[in-house]
Structure 1
Amino acid sequence: MAKKPFDASTLQAFGNAAAGHDGVLSDSSGAVVVKPCTPAEIAFYESITTSHKELAPHLPTYMGQLSLSSGSIPEDESAESGTIQTATGVERLHGRKLATELHIVLENITHGFKKPNVLDLKLGAQLWDDAAKPEKRARLDEVSNATTSGSLGFRIAGMRTWKGVDAPEVEGELKEFAEKNGEGGFWVYNKMYGRKFSAEDVNEGFEAYVYPQGKEQAQLERAREVLAFFLGEVKDIQSVFERKESRMYSASILLVYEGDLDEYANTKKTLASYRPSVEDEDEDEDLPKLAAVKMIDFAHATWQPGNGPDENAIRGMRSTAKILKDLLDQTEKQLGSD
């Protein structure tokens, strides 16, 4: 994906995030996301292109940085901190005030999907870096100890699934954790959803993600393909980070797949018949996608030569791979019995 300049007036609020900070924007094409960041995150991405190129396939494509300064904000009564003039008007950035002018420009992982189902898995039992104040360490340790962050090395940080426009309203205990979005077909699960699980039942969260519309034949077949892909990608990410000496606190693995069953089937046919053109190297950027797995969120990531692999994050990758493998085995067993 080629780097190109961005005009703040073409940006709009980004709606496909499953978790993370507010204030994330996207360009009019939807191909990129622009999010507030720290200098450390930019340094980490830039180090990938210079010293750790084998990691590049497992991260969103980095396209540079952007400063959304006060010049991007209208000079009128509505132009308070936390607003920006975008293509659709003055955006409040989901109600959160801008904490920084510095933004990172990245590939939008959900671009190319019609109805992207998104699962954000926050890695690590330790969620704070060395710069964190004691009160922050204590607060995050409390979260870790009470959730699967402590027991498995990861937790579900957010989830977004397509159930269809005719899906019923959120009911029962899920009302506390999920809501239907404006389109009516997506269920969006908040960060407290993942905190309710223990090591013994967290697979239920994965099942809700992989089987949002039930376990009919078509859903099972899609789940088998998606789970096999996810498992291979997570193992690849684990393998490459086992050979690196890094520390990543509160980084995530993002899983995405096509939530519309008809579109999933159509995309399979499109990809099966696709023949790349030598003349147009960027042609594949416009292809639809079936599934994607990327590592994201490196605000607290550093390279630490001599300190060995990041077992804090890698433990969460191993736990994720095990759950995906168990679900894949269950799915194949059920398909075999039908």
Structure 2
Amino acid sequence: MDNATLVETSAVQYSSQFRFEEHAVTNFSYQVGGRAEIVSLNLGEDKSIGKPLNKTEHHFYETAVKSLPCNLLDYIPCYRGVVEIKNGKPATLGDKLRLKRKGCYIVLEDVTSRFKKPSIMDLKMGTRQFSDTMSPEKIARKKNRSLATTSNELGVRVAGIRSFNSSESCGHHHMNKMEGRELTSDSILDAFRMFFFDGKEMHTAAIDRILHKLTNIIELIRLCDSVRLYCCSLLLVYESDKTGNLTNVKTDIRIIDFAEFQTRSGDGVKYDGPDDGFLRGLESLVRILANLMREQEEKIKETPLKIGFEEEEKEQSASEQPPALS
């Protein structure tokens, strides 16, 4: 790579004189959803990703994010400025950098970098998947897609999954956005079963922690008057590596993709109150994960009863055997 120059930043940790080191731009291996191709950026100690700059999303990170409840920032990726990537060349020998377009990229923290084996689910949130500034043709397509998928009823749709699963030949379970669109309100629970199942057991500790975080996000979103999170996604991440502390499993949830974000001060219709469509998606997630937890609790309750019954049968069978001849 000849150079990739930092052209703008609001983060004090990066100087305007910063220059990427050679081979600092690589393909991001943990992208499971979205159309824009994400790249991994080596900006020193903190791992970052770059996504093609969108004017609305850039405005969100630079300005609009400051008007959100302070605690909600814990669930939004840390913004690290904007970079311009020039003259992209292979990051490593034989591995060409696949960029759909060159130019400016928004730099965000890589939320997967703290995990050894991150299992990731990308969820498209909200009952409405279009903004006021889209063309009538695009709005019509988005409406039809919402009506044909779980977005309309549940306010949530699976956009992608990559989770570790020892029963799969490749060691992972995958689901792409087209498969996610085929899910129904009845079958979507199957996707979450697969996401949290590692081939041997269910990651119930991760489910429990994510449930707790979802309830926090719901309360914070209810405080966001006039904010519309159209086309935003929710990223769920949990640690699949069980060699560490099993009682304190690592999880993360982030709201991402703000290209169609709207506020009272933005373009288009001015809305009051919180985003009910986004809230419906969050509440549906709570119900889905709560159902999954209840399933696991029922299995735990049934298991010792079944074992006890089998042992009782064995004892009864042994007592009915005729005495051995001496």
TM-score of the aligned structures, taking structure 1 as reference length = 0.76
Q: Could you say what secondary structure the match of 2:63 adopts?
A: helix
| 1:55 Cα offset (Å) | 1.8
- Match of residue 13, structure 2, among 3, 26, 31: 3
Structure 1 position 14 matched with structure 2 position 28: yes
The equivalent position to 1:110 in structure 2, one of 109, 112, 115, is 112
State the SS of the aligned residue for 1:88.
Answer: coil
Length, aligned pairs only: 280
Q: Deviations over 1:167-204 (max 9, x none)?
A: 444xxxxxxxxxxxxxx322332111111111112101
Seen in structure 2, the aligned counterparts of structure 1 residues 249 and 240 have a Cα distance that, compared at 3 Å, is same
Distance 1:330 1:47, change over 3 A: farther
Q: Which moved more, 1:19-28 or 1:245-254?
A: 19-28
Change (3 A) 1:267 1:93: farther
Aligned to 1:302: 262
Q: Counterpart of 2:53?
A: 37
The equivalent residue for 1:24 is 38
The equivalent of 2:196 in structure 1 is 210
SS of the residue 1:301 aligns to:
coil
Structure 2 spans left out of the alignment, 5+ residues: 1-10, 266-270, 304-326
Matched, 1:58 2:75: yes
Shift of 1:299: 0.9
Q: State the secondary structure of the residue aligned to 2:292.
A: helix
Aligned AA (1:323): I
Deviations for 1:261-312, whole angstroms, at most 9, x for unmatched residues? 33xxx1448x7xxxxxxxxxxxxxxxxx721111111111122276111112
State the secondary structure of the residue aligned to 2:228: strand
Alignment check: 8 A CA contact 1:155 1:194 kept = yes
* CA distance, structure 2, for counterparts of residue 48 and residue 134 of structure 1: 26
* Of 228, 235, 248, the match for 2:208: 228
Would the aligned equivalents of 1:11 and 1:26 in 2 still touch at CA under 8 Å? Answer: yes
Question: Do the aligned partners of residues 137 and 304 (structure 1) sit closer, same or farther apart at CA in structure 2, a change above 3 Å counting?
Answer: same
Aligned to 1:131: 133
Instruction: State the AA in 2 paired with 1:250.
Output: C
Q: C-alpha separation between the residues in 2 aligned to 1:2 and 1:319? A: 39
Match of 1:156 in 2: 158
C-alpha change, 1:234 and 1:126, in structure 2 (3 Å) is same
TM superposition shift of 1:30: 7.4
Retained in 2: the 8 A contact 1:37–1:299? no
* Bigger Rg, structure 1 or 2: 2
CA distance in 1, matches of 2:97, 2:215: 35
Answer with 195-204 or 2-11: which moved more.
Answer: 2-11
Deviation at residue 101 of structure 1 after TM alignment: 2.2
Q: In 2 relative to 1, CA 152–15 (structure 1 residues): closer, same or farther, beyond 3 Å?
A: same
The question of whether the paired residues in 2 share the 8 Å contact of 1:3 and 1:64 is answered with no
CA distance, structure 2, for counterparts of residue 168 and residue 185 of structure 1: 5
Going from structure 1 to structure 2, the CA distance change for 1:256 and 1:316 (only over 3 Å counts) comes to: same
Could you tell me how far apart the structure 2 residues matched to 1:137 and 1:62 are? 29
1:23/1:93 contact within 8 Å kept = no
Q: What is the one-letter code of the residue matched to 2:79? A: Y
Aligned equivalent of 2:123: 121
Could you say which residue in structure 1 is the equivalent of 2:172?
186
Structure 1 position 3, deviation (Å): 3.1
Assess if the C-alpha contact under 8 Å between 2:165 and 2:197 holds in 1: no
Question: In the aligned structure 1, how far is the partner of 2:240 from the partner of 2:158?
Answer: 19
CA distance in 1, matches of 2:152, 2:19: 40
Q: Quick one: which amino acid aligns to residue 57 of structure 1?
A: D
Question: Once the 2 structures are TM-superposed, how far is the Cα of residue 93 of structure 1 from its aligned partner?
Answer: 5.1
Partner residue of 1:293?
253
Give the partner amino acid of 1:334.
K
Show CA shifts across 1:116-158 (max 9, x none).
Answer: 1101110112111111111111111111111101111110000
What TM-score does the superposition give when structure 2 sets the normalisation length?
Answer: 0.78
Q: Is the 8 A contact 1:161 1:209 kept in 2?
A: yes
Contact 2:26 2:97 in 1 (8 A): no
What 5-or-longer segments of structure 1 have no aligned partner?
Answer: 74-83, 170-183, 272-288
On the 8 A contact 1:38/1:299 being kept in 2, the answer is yes
